[in-house]
Amino acid sequence: MHKPSWWLAENGKADTVLWWILIILLCFGLVMVYSASAPVAQQETGNPLFFAERQVLYAILGLTGMYYISRVELEFWERMTFPLMGISLIALLVVFVPVIGVGVNGSHRWINFLIVRLQPSELLKFALLLFMSRYVVRKGELLGSVKDGLWPIFILLFVLGVLLLLQPDFGSFFMVVAITGTLLFLGGLPMRYVLIAGIASGAALGVLAVSAPYRLARITSFSNPWADPYGSGFQLVQSLIAFGRGGVFGVGLGNGIMKYFYLPESYTDFIPAVIGEELGMIGIWALIFLYAVACWRIYRVGRRAAAAGDAFYALFCYGTLIWFGGEAVMSLGVNLGALPTKGFALPLISYGGSALVFLCATLGVVLAVSRRYPPLAKKAKVQQVKAEEVAHG
């Protein structure tokens, strides 16, 4: 059968270690979503498997997409940079349209597609990785000029900031700033601009954090949640109690009690606390180990792409590392009381369709890069790949 032009030929083998770690995290997430969500699902729907069944569908969709995307010709995603960015911006506007946009607890972050909901901010992260990687590669020599190189980025960040903070989605805006700043720095942004941007971003985020009463309450309660254990410090107090109950070895899978309406968002933002209670710090450290190895493998893929002269996908991999690893650190830090309380999903584990599917798509591109640029031990294979690319024009 003739393959379409964007379909990648069998040029190499994707990073096997990364593949297996991602599959393990996905499967572990399904188990923990069921354990953490069963009481809430039983009360709200009468079906303890309600959220778990939906997560299984998301996982199947995400895993299938990750596999096929890992086999798509990389140049296809470069061509899709502007279409995806445009769709992301339109989707961020659509969330405010009545009936189409869905509001939950005062937040407008979702688009209703009858049986599923799309969170545009997750698509935005994927599109932003492509856009910033392309921009840095093409405008790298202009990054030292505010007028010629940085103003378009300032305008983009301003627009994205307005759209995200109106939802409001402070966590996604923070990640957008982190991804953009990291890729600009790696692309050669002069250190003086890095320092200025860091100070300005920190000041802006600080002002935004204290501008809303609920954000200020979360920050002030972070230092001492026990000062208001039934108010602003409630989530963190319940999370810490869960970790305390779990101790070193945990109370056993499925035996936790904090998910029985003590711990809010037990199967989304605070699922690490459920893991800590049921599997103990042994389970948390095992989870950290898996994330660390996955991040190392993503970094190695980016480094190999850079060594081969492919700056676009090297930057894409490094940006993915910030997204994937950064959200894991944030989620665990919030649950352990090391960071102010803010909603960050635990990558590939927390309940949520959009976050899971678009992260899997992003990781699928990383796997495609690993296929094109295998380890140096397979140098002959790399040369063969390059020869085939030259032969096909």
Question: For residue range 5-50, what is the model confidence (pLDDT) as tens digits?
Answer: 555 544 678 899 999 999 999 999 999 999 999 999 999 999 999 9
Reported as a single tens digit per residue, the pLDDT across 153-179 is 888 888 998 888 888 788 888 899 889
Q: How many domains does the chain have?
A: 1
Mapped onto helix, strand or coil, the DSSP state of residue 110 is: strand
Reported as a single tens digit per residue, the pLDDT across 339-391 is 887 778 999 999 988 899 999 999 999 999 999 998 865 555 556 556 666 66
The 10 Å Cβ neighbour count of residue 67 is 14
Does residue 9 lie in a domain region?
no
pLDDT value at 206 more than 80: no
- Side chain identity at residue 326, one-letter code: G
Does residue 377 lie in a domain region?
yes
User: Is residue 204 a contact partner of residue 193, using CB atoms and an 8 Å limit?
Assistant: no
Convert 281-320 into a string of H (helix), E (strand) and C (coil). Answer: HHHHHHHHHHHHHHHHHHHHHHHHHHHCCCHHHHHHHHHH
| Residues forming beta bridges with residue 306, ordered by sequence position | none
Reported as a single tens digit per residue, the pLDDT across 234-273 is 888 999 999 999 999 999 999 999 999 899 889 999 999 9
pLDDT value at 67 more than 90: yes
- Tokens standing for 166? 């109106």
Confidence (pTM): 0.88
Does residue 11 lie in a domain region?
no
CA separation, residue 254 to residues 30, 37, 63, 170, 282 (Å): 13, 11, 25, 32, 16
Does residue 4 lie in a domain region?
no
Domain holding 311, by residue range, is 16-391
User: Is residue 336 a contact partner of residue 104, using CB atoms and an 8 Å limit?
Assistant: no
Does residue 235 lie in a domain region?
yes
Within 13 Å, how many C-alpha atoms sit on residue 160's CB side? Answer: 27
Among 112-116, 183-187, 313-317, the minimum mean pLDDT is found in 112-116
Between 216 and 356, residue with greater pLDDT: 356
Label residue 57 by pLDDT band (50, 70, 90).
Answer: very high
pLDDT value at 104 more than 80: no
